[in-house]
Structure 1
Amino acid sequence: MTAVDLPAVPRVLIAESDPASRELLEQVVSSLRCDARVDSCGEGRQALDLLAQNSYDLVIADWELPGVNGLSILRGLRQQSRTPALPFILVSRRNDSASVREVLPLAPTAYLTKPLDRENLIQRLQGLLLGTVEEATNDAPVPAPGLSLSAFLERRRNVSEGAPLMTDVQVAVKRALNPGGLDLKLLEEELRTDPQVTAVLIAAANSAAQHQGGGRVQTVAQALHHLGAGQSMNLILGLTLKRCARLSVPCLADYAERYWELSLHTAEYARTMARLLDLEQERCYCAGLLHRLGDLALLRCLEEWKQAGGELDEPEEVGNSLERYGAGFGSALRTRWRLPLELRELIAAVYSLGGGVYSREALVMNMAAQMAHLPAYEGLEELARGRTARLLKIGLPELTRLRRK
């Protein structure tokens, strides 16, 4: 990223009572953004005074601040009507599950435990200071005079923030907490049906794997294991602070629900068929879940347009936009987030097999999509006679059993 590409100069408040930790935080912020305007203090009341006097892009505060603690500062900020919420990193010596439960409803951008690790700090602050402060703190993009919906979507295609959340991630994290900490297996079960969470975790894990020399991550379970409990929770909770994280326009929410259900049906058929044929089940499931990511991301951008004052003819203009731009949004997201090529190939097979030689997993994805689109109790005979079924050597009896599951 060049200096021209950097977001506007960020203003950061660091409220930390421990001089060594405060100095480390200042050093990391300055190393990432030498132009950042940093205000530091060691007491809660002083932090509140600074917040009242200045507009910040990021706050880093210690839970154990004297006077007014960091949790109280976070609670006060979340009670304000700012949309989206101010990015806030809470630092604490507490790493027990009861403390985490207390913090969760306030949705901090990150919850970091002491002693602070420099590399972890750099990873957490890179996105906020080098790429997303502007996105996280500005209001929704306002359509310029004369800007058409088509032009707006063209501009947003390569910078969209992905799909809206389709599950309540805060509830999911709470359910996965136990006295010993965060149960990653239970967290996977709670979140595996959400396309946005799935894509973000896989993308983040692959970025970390590339940095550390690890292998390619292609499932939620692999991503959670690679990232660990703390980083996974921070990423997941951070999604709730994004603009239009949940859709509120009824027409758009209805479209999203239908596309999500189609994704889930495709994913379940893919996993069941992969199990039947002794193939990689979870990778097929993820491919099915993510194949409508672009349509969901487009619906999120349509909500941005609507909330920013743009006119939207429902449902005709929504349907036309999905048909025209949905695939492009999905392709741009999968490329920008650097999802593994193998996973992208399976997603592509959902839509078309094209020419050449196909892997059995690609054939499974294509068949799963056809199954998901079939009306109830109709079309199985024709599907069994089709090319994909013949290549997989699956007949009407197997397809009938699949449909009943």
Structure 2
Amino acid sequence: MGISARELAANTPATRDRYVDLLRVVSLGVVVFGHWLMAAVTADGTVGNLLAVVPELQLVTWVFQIMPVFFYVGGFSHALAHRSRPAYAAFLRARLQRLLRPTMVFIGVWGALALVVQLLGADRGLTGVALRLVAQPLWFIGIYLAMVAFTPPLLKLHERYGWGAFGALVAAAAAVDALRFAADVPYVEFLNFAFVWLAVHQLGFLRADGMIRLPSALAAVGLTGAGLLVALGPYPLSMVGMPGEKVSNMAPPTLALLFHGLWLVGAVELLRGPGTRFVARANVWHKVVAANGIAMTAFLWHLSAMLGVYGALLALGAELPAPATAAWWAQAPVRIAAAALLTAGLVAAFRRFERPAPVAPGTGQGGPVAALGITLALLGVLGLSMVGFGGLLEGRTALLIAVHVSAPAAVGTALTGWLLVERAGRGGRRGPDAA
């Protein structure tokens, strides 16, 4: 049996930056709540977006599109973790234990369900939509895998150039957008999946070394830059993807989203003092530790829970009011509470897979195998996020950059990558805690 959250909270070293843990929990919590609230499901099983129904609400994404904060604190944590475990293969395995194990379980369960549903011929309506939508959060896992993979070389650049390394990533993101919008260069926009998110991640390195000294200036630059880009450029107002839009700030990420990330990082750093005092309270810290222990499991399953609630309402013949009407808003708290309860049940069932196994000390070997493994894992996970779990028997595919990928191929690629990282991280031998 593992150590309880209360024991972990009580034994937390005084040197730990608890505010980072708070930010990690809050950022994922806001994303989950946003997905539950923004889903606009109609009586015929169509899943829309509240932001498309009420375009004026798109402005709230400038506060609630908080995923850059998660990647920012990821950079902070990865910098500290790599410095304590510099062997590449061991670093990767240690960082991916709580990420890939629950992800592969999620993929396995939904893959089996999708196959059964399709064999029964029930993959229509909301069920068919669910088979596609539940895989979408996996894009986040794929991007996070890339951040872990690039931590060692980018951390070296940070240690040598500081803000210059961050500036180079911003310049690269700007160049990509210029080639995309001004020169109409095909496929170049996909590079910003790397440049934009790695730039935000790089800010976490700067925080780890105490180099973010003027958060108000960072917030001002970010907010002003994002505002000017949206007002004068080809960028949409919404900082999340919208159905049918020609240009999205999210997929692929744009320079506007990068400036949005600067604004958010500056804002959370301005709140660092009161946030640190708040999380220092024993009861608050215990809740933060407990939430961190299940965060990835809850994130993976929260859309499944939401769609399960809507499916139950449709099956019971309950009325689904038109989105954004007074009746719809009145029903929203009940739907969200039901989704939260169902998510809690799924977390109870699958949380054990988020507990990391003991990691043996690194041997300094296995780096190339680990690099290949994480590359395959992130490509597989990203591919699955695009194709979803539907159409398994028909061999349905989706375009991942320039390659068509099917769900079985994506699952096989991700699983192979994970196993390679696990093997390389053990250094090819079994130690006393490598069981």
TM-score (norm 1): 0.26
TM-score (norm 2): 0.25
Which structure: larger Rg? 1
Q: Greater helix percent: which structure?
A: 2
